Amino acid sequence: MPICPKCKAEIKHLLAYSEVVNNFEIDINGEPFCFGNDNIEGYTTFECPECNEDLNFNEEEAIIFLRDKDELQKLVAEKIKKDETSKIK
């Protein structure tokens, strides 16, 4: 099972957050009506469900992480350590 590189909890899933843009029009009576599909815009963040920390994954990395690939977990831990070090400076 994957282990969160920040809080070290074993996790079965990640929380994913994306900005969704819903396009719509308003008719003459002031009633909104939708057209088209909702579109995900911009960046999706993936967070640990235990500590709610952003794990800095893209979608591909999140999937690999959840499949418990040791190599990716090591790379993520290194990336997080590097990010934390750069924030201190």
Q: Which residues, in sequence order, are CB contacts of 10 under 8 Å at separation 6+? A: 1, 2, 3, 4
Q: Where are the alpha helices (DSSP H) in 1-89?
A: 59-66, 70-88
CA-wise closest residue to 7 among 77, 68, 72, 59? 77
Measured in whole angstroms, the distance separating CA 21 from the mean position of its chain's CA atoms is 17
Q: According to the model, what pLDDT value does residue 19 have? A: 81
Tens digit of pLDDT for each residue in 9-24?
999 999 999 887 777 8
Domain limits of the chain? 15-88
Tens digit of pLDDT for each residue in 30-84?
888 776 666 666 778 999 999 999 999 999 999 988 887 666 667 777 777 887 7
